[in-house]
Amino acid sequence: MRTGADYLASLNDGRVVLVDGQHRLAGALKAAEKELDEPSAQEVIEREISAGMSSQEVSSRLLLERSRCLPVSLLMTTSPEEQVFQFIIVNQKATPIGKSLLGTIVSTSLANEELDRVAGRLQSAGIRLEESQAITLLSRLQESPFRNLVERGLTGDAKDLLQWSVFGGLIAIFRDLKGGTLFGQKNDYADRWRKKYLDSSPIAADFQEHGYESAFHYWRSLDGPWRSVFIQFWTKIRDTFGDTSDPDRPNYWGRSRDSNLFNKISLTILAADFFQYLVDTKSELKAADDVPGLVDDWLEDVNPDYFNKDWNLGGVKKDSVGIRNQWAALWTEYRKSPTSLPNKRNFRSPKIS
């Protein structure tokens, strides 16, 4: 007699793939198999065998008769991209999958050519495929300063990893050249730099040789120049301001809940202010290797211990409007005239517009 496990295994033998409903189907099969052990069913089996049918034929017929009709989702193909696509759609219709887990599933389940075949359908379904790929890539690359420091939506994730959406926002500033706005201000300096200086920057001048219609399209492609610039910039920031060895230091590069540096507010301020510096100095980018030197110029005379002080932030909601605006004002005022560090008490006080 075929067991429920046997039957389920046969679904994946190249004919169909069961996408949703495995547990209910297995339970229904177990219930039907249990009924075949009842005396009435055994009498039928014995009688049919005596009439010349095989035990397998009798059992299969009785299983079919006694099995419940249940809704399941299955595919008439075994292609990995179709399985991932349907899994996401089915689960999003019930309780939506968290963005971090969704991105992890999409970006780690399929090879590039498989992603290419299903990309359009995923985007039509509201799945931002390239964003998920970029986040996953930069949270896993060996050379990325954010390696293993971004949430993936998995049960084993540490509680103080950088949030998926926060990391996506940081990436967007560099990749899409959008969102480079200092808190409390209106100018988007990343967008301004793109409009004024990207087209004339040698770093993206050979866009046609790479098959792109513009410098921006080449810049923001998944493996375009933005990625090396992003890695160079944040590596320099980590090495200049951060501590990677002592989790209890205020400037620890990690533990987003406790670090003065490694959190949404500080990282966004640093990115936006860097692009403001590029705009103010009318700087083009020649190559990603030039970024550390530009950062040195931007941070001239800035104390590397800026974030390495106890700001006494107990009870302070860092992501509130007043605190964000205050931190941005404190940083920009100090960076432009780095004589003495801001009084640490000021980091607790929201800026009143």
List, for residues 191-200, the tens digit of each pLDDT value: 999 999 999 9
Kindly state whether residues 222 and 338 are assigned to the same domain: yes
Kindly state whether residues 148 and 205 are assigned to the same domain: no
Phi first, then psi: what are they for 252, rounded to 5°? -60, 135
Kindly state whether residues 144 and 271 are assigned to the same domain: no
Between 217 and 109, the higher pLDDT residue:
217
Phi first, then psi: what are they for 261, rounded to 5°? -95, -50
Residue 278 forms part of a structural domain: yes
Kindly state whether residues 66 and 86 are assigned to the same domain: no
Domain boundary among 161, 187, 217: 161
What is the C-alpha separation between 162 and 151, in angstroms, rounded? 6
Distance separating the N- and C-terminal Cα atoms of the chain? 76
AA letter at 230 = F
Residue 4 confidence (pLDDT): 44
Residue 301 confidence (pLDDT): 95
| Structure-block tokens of residue 114 | 């498989």
Q: pTM for the full model?
A: 0.72
Residue 239 confidence (pLDDT): 98
Phi first, then psi: what are they for 351, rounded to 5°? -80, 130
Mean pLDDT (whole number) for 338-347:
94
Judge whether 110 and 118 are in contact, CB under 8 Å.
yes
Highest mean pLDDT pick, 37-41, 71-75, 117-121, 264-268: 264-268
Between 89 and 51, the higher pLDDT residue:
51
| Structure-block tokens of residue 138 | 């930069």
60 — pLDDT class (breaks 50, 70, 90): confident
Kindly state whether residues 184 and 269 are assigned to the same domain: yes
Question: What's the total number of domains in the chain?
Answer: 3
Residue 170 forms part of a structural domain: no
Between 255 and 125, the higher pLDDT residue:
255
Domain span at residue 235?
177-353
Supply the mean pLDDT for the chain. Answer: 84
Domain boundary among 75, 97, 132: 75
Judge whether 262 and 242 are in contact, CB under 8 Å.
yes
Q: Which long-range contacts (CB under 8 A, 24 or more apart) does 174-178 make?
A: 174/226, 174/229, 174/230, 174/233, 174/271, 175/134, 175/219, 175/220, 175/224, 175/226, 175/227, 175/230, 176/220, 177/216, 177/219, 177/220
Please write the tens of the pLDDT for every residue from 310-341. 999 988 999 999 999 999 999 999 999 999 99
Residue 322 confidence (pLDDT): 95
Q: DSSP state, 352?
A: P
Kindly state whether residues 343 and 205 are assigned to the same domain: yes
Mean pLDDT (whole number) for 95-101:
58
Mean pLDDT (whole number) for 204-225:
95
Kindly state whether residues 198 and 347 are assigned to the same domain: yes
